[in-house]
């Protein structure tokens, strides 16, 4: 099973390792709720080396990427980031990605679970354009520091940055120098906290990881995939394979903002998406508060009387709120005033619609950055 | 935490302490470690009937939910109601204060089919490798 360049760091930190889409990754180092609260209250460090990093360059690069993704790159300036989707011709979601515009290239981060589908998908749709796709996933390490103390922990380790470390707005990227190496710092994340996703040469990543924990001196802890999941659910952020699949479309997922139907280059799924948008979604992705100690989990049916009106896509005991929360799809007519129930292994428990996100320090900024 | 020698065990990580015709049941330290954090436990009511190898409750953590499997058949005569509000008892004292139910056994001979501490330890050793 493939391991990241930080594998030894995880073992040293006492991680419990699991198979995550074919990668041997840390699920937790201590306990999930404890790691979760560390990120909310101070800071956490994440290994994201399993994600895919693709760099597009050359004169035809922009048009190539434009023809595949749903967002409009012509609106993204240098140093900006944009959330986007890749859809199939029917408007089904193939992946959700982040696109950064660098001075000479477009830099895309794709999900670990979709690394093997997205790259060939781009290659298939290159259409003879004068451009190159370089897979940087092996040579570049990717880690993330998230949580209120992130600037204070990172600052002593960063030798140079293009802009002031604490002032880069949400969903931006800048050049930096770390451990004598060229790096990129992006104000993106998957926790609802402020922080940086950091790209630097893979060979420097293990030392950088150790130095962050060392200089962080108790203010920061390594965070496994378990808490990464509880953090993103509180932040109302979708996960590919749960909220997003080839059978879901962007509008029902509440991601219509990432689909620019009017853009200079036609893109895969455009016609189907225009039709789906005109028809309006039949169901909607919602947040749920669960009135029980039991956790509603992926696949459990949601009822509003009879018959079922939806299905849970993700659910957790929320460490921040102190009760279970979930995300799921429900019939578009479902209202906050409806008394819903989730069938948890044969027992119906009460549930109520809750606005997403459940908790976020970034979302109000995200809304217009996106 | 060493395995108490005086208890019997199941392959599904429950333990049993026999007191005459009664069996006191909990889950092992290994099971607690695997669950990691505990968020919820559901136990049967007093007087409920339980059947050997059948589910008698469930225990839930952030990532997963596990059935509790009855090691013996009988009637529940006592339930550790303190657990509902203090799941730490299970973590801190799995073989004592973390007990879950006391069962009046219908067939005390069923205990003989349960694992000894040595046999259970062998199972743990093989699961860890």
Residue B61's CATH number: 2.40.50.100
CA A248 to chain centre: 17
Cβ contacts from A onto B, under 8 A: 35
Q: Is residue B114 part of a domain?
A: no
pLDDT of residue A368: 38
Of the candidates A16, A317, A345, which has its C-beta nearest B62's C-beta? A317
Q: Is residue B122 part of a domain?
A: no
Closest CA to A74 of A92, A101, A98: A101
Closest-CA residue of A relative to B85 is A293
d(CA A52, CA A142): 9
To which residue do tokens 């609106």 refer? A75
Q: How far is B38 from chain A (nearest CA, A)?
A: 10
Are B79 and B44 spatial neighbours (Cβ–Cβ below 8 Å)? Answer: yes
Which residues 171-230 of chain A have a CB within 8 Å of chain B? 226, 230
- DSSP for A267-317, written as a single string: -TTHHHHHHHHHH--SEEEEEEEEESSSPP-TT-EEESSSSEEEEEEEEEE
Which residues 22-61 of chain B have a CB within 8 Å of chain A? 36-37, 39-40, 42, 58, 60-61
Q: What 3-state DSSP class applies to A137? A: coil
pLDDT in tens, B15-40: 999 999 999 999 999 999 999 999 99
> Is A317 in Cβ contact with B39 (below 8 Å)?
yes
Q: Strands of A81-87's sheet, edge to edge?
A: A81-87, A93-101, A106-110, A52-57, A132-135
pLDDT of residue B99 exceeding 80:
yes
Of the candidates B36, B42, B58, which has its C-beta nearest A31's C-beta? B36
Q: Is residue B63 part of a domain?
A: yes
> Is B37 in Cβ contact with A32 (below 8 Å)?
yes
Task: Tokens for B52, please give them.
Answer: 């050997």
pLDDT of residue A363: 75
**Chain B residues closer than 8 Å to A316 by CB:** 62
Q: Which residues contact A347 (CB under 8 A, 6 or more apart)?
A: A294
Q: How far is A33 from chain B (nearest CA, A)?
A: 7
Closest CA to A296 of A282, A283, A276, A310: A310
> Is B65 in Cβ contact with A297 (below 8 Å)?
yes
DSSP state of A323: S
Q: How far is A142 from chain B (nearest CA, A)?
A: 25
Domains in chain B, number: 1
DSSP state of B116: P
* Residue in B32, B33, B39, B67 to test binding to A, most A beta-carbons within 10 Å: B39
Q: Is residue B115 part of a domain?
A: no
**Chain B residues closer than 8 Å to A226 by CB:** 62-63
> Is B40 in Cβ contact with A294 (below 8 Å)?
yes
d(CA A310, CA A357): 19
- DSSP for A183-226, written as a single string: EEEE---SSSS-EEEEEEEGGGHHHHHHHHHHHHTTS-EE--HH
Tell whether A316 is within 8 A of chain B (Cβ).
yes
d(CA A270, CA A288): 31
Task: Tokens for B43, please give them.
Answer: 């136990």
Closest CA to A209 of A36, A9, A50, A2: A9
pLDDT in tens, B72-89: 999 999 999 999 999 999
Tell whether A368 is within 8 A of chain B (Cβ).
no
> Is A28 in Cβ contact with B40 (below 8 Å)?
no
Task: Tokens for A267, please give them.
Answer: 């893109």
CA distances from B124 to A109, A113, B34, B128 (A): 41, 32, 12, 6
pLDDT of residue A369: 36
Beta-ladder partners of A109 = A53, A98
Q: Taken in order A319, A325, A329, A331, is the CA torsion positive or negative?
A: negative
Are B126 and B119 spatial neighbours (Cβ–Cβ below 8 Å)? Answer: no
> Is A295 in Cβ contact with B36 (below 8 Å)?
no
Closest-CA residue of A relative to B65 is A295
Torsion angle, CA of A357/A359/A361/A362, rounded to 10 degrees? -20
Q: Is residue B121 part of a domain?
A: no
Q: How many residues does chain B have?
A: 129
pLDDT of residue B129: 59
Tell whether B85 is within 8 A of chain A (Cβ).
no
CB atoms within 10 A of CB B11: 12
Q: Is residue B120 part of a domain?
A: no
Cα first-last separation, chain B: 19
Task: Tokens for A237, please give them.
Answer: 């952020």
Q: Is residue B112 part of a domain?
A: no
Prediction ipTM score: 0.87
* Residue in B32, B37, B84 to test binding to A, most A beta-carbons within 10 Å: B37
Q: Which region holds residue A273: left if phi is over 0, alpha if psi is between -120 and 50, else beta?
A: alpha
Q: How far is B43 from chain A (nearest CA, A)?
A: 13
pLDDT of residue A64: 98
To which residue do tokens 């190898």 refer? B53
Closest-CA residue of B relative to A29 is B36
pLDDT grade for B2, boundaries at 50, 70 and 90? confident
Domains and CATH numbers, chain A: 7-49+137-234 (3.30.1360.120), 282-369 (2.40.30.110)
pLDDT of residue B35: 93
Task: Tokens for A100, please give them.
Answer: 């950064």
d(CA A139, CA B17): 56
Q: Is the peptide bond before A357 cis (omega within 30 degrees of 0)?
A: yes
Task: Tokens for A141, please give them.
Answer: 């390490």
Are A129 and A67 spatial neighbours (Cβ–Cβ below 8 Å)? Answer: no
Residues of chain A with pLDDT below 70 are: 364-370
CA A203 to chain centre: 25
pLDDT in tens, A26-46: 999 999 999 999 999 999 999
d(CA A189, CA A235): 10
> Is B39 in Cβ contact with A295 (below 8 Å)?
yes
Report the DSSP pairing between strands A44-47 and A140-146: antiparallel
Are A167 and A211 spatial neighbours (Cβ–Cβ below 8 Å)? Answer: no
Q: Could you give the angle at which helices A225-234 and A32-41 cross, rounded to 10 degrees?
A: 60
Q: Is residue B87 part of a domain?
A: yes
* Residue in B34, B41, B62 to test binding to A, most A beta-carbons within 10 Å: B62
Are A119 and A133 spatial neighbours (Cβ–Cβ below 8 Å)? Answer: yes
d(CA A250, CA A68): 15
> Is B60 in Cβ contact with A295 (below 8 Å)?
yes
Are A104 and A22 spatial neighbours (Cβ–Cβ below 8 Å)? Answer: no
> Is A297 in Cβ contact with B63 (below 8 Å)?
no
pLDDT of residue B80: 98
| Residues of the domain holding B89 | 8-107
């Amino acid at each position: 099973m493939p391991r990241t360049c930080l594998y030894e760091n995880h073992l040293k930190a006492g991680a419990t390792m699991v198979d995550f889409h074919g990668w041997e990754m840390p699920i937790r180092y201590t306990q999930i709720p404890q790691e979760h609260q560390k990120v909310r209250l101070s800071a956490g460090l994440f290994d994201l080396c399993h994600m895919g990093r693709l760099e597009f360059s050359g004169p035809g690069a922009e048009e190539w990427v434009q023809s595949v993704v749903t967002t409009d790159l012509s609106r993204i300036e240098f140093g900006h980031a944009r959330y986007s989707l890749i859809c199939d011709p029917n408007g089904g979601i193939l992946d959700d990605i982040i696109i950064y515009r660098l001075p000479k290239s477009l830099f895309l981060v794709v999900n670990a679970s979709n690394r093997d589908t997205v790259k060939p998908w781009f290659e298939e749709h290159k259409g003879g354009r004068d451009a190159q796709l370089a897979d940087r996933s092996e040579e570049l390490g990717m880690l993330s520091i998230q949580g209120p103390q992130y600037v204070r922990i990172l600052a002593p380790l960063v030798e140079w940055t293009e802009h002031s470390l604490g002032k880069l707005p949400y969903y931006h990227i800048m050049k930096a120098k770390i451990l004598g190496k060229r790096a990129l710092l992006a104000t993106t994340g998957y926790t609802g906290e402020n922080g940086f996703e950091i790209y630097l040469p893979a060979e420097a990543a293990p030392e950088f990881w150790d130095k962050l924990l060392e200089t962080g001196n108790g203010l920061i802890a390594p965070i496994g995939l378990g808490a990464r999941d509880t953090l993103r659910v509180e932040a109302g952020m979708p996960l590919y394979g749960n909220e997003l699949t080839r059978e879901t479309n962007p509008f029902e997922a509440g991601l219509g903002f990432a689909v620019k139907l009017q853009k200079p280059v036609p893109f895969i799924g455009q016609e189907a998406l225009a039709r789906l948008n005109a028809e309006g979604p039949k169901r909607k992705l919602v947040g749920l508060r669960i009135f029980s100690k039991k956790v509603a989990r992926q696949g459990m049916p949601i009822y509003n009387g009879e018959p079922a009106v939806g299905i849970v896509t993700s659910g957790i005991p929320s460490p921040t709120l102190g009760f279970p929360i979930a995300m799921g799809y429900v019939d578009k007519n479902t209202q906050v005033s409806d008394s819903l129930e989730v069938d948890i292994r044969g027992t119906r428990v009460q549930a109520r619609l809750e606005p997403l996100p459940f908790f976020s320090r970034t979302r109000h900024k995200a809304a217009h950055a996106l | 935490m060493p395995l108490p020698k005086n208890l019997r065990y199941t392959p599904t990580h429950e333990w049993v302490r026999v007191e005459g015709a009664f069996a006191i049941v909990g889950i092992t330290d290994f099971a607690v470690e695997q669950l990691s954090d505990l968020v919820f436990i559901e136990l049967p009511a007093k007087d409920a009937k339980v059947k050997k190898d059948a589910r008698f409750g469930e225990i839930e953590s952030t990532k997963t939910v596990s059935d509790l499997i009855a090691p013996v058949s009988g009637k529940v005569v006592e339930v550790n109601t303190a657990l509902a509000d203090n799941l730490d008892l299970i973590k801190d004292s799995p073989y004592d204060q973390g007990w879950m139910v006391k069962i009046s056994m219908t067939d005390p001979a069923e205990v003989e089919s349960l694992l000894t501490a040595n046999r259970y330890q062998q199972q743990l050793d093989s699961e860890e490798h």
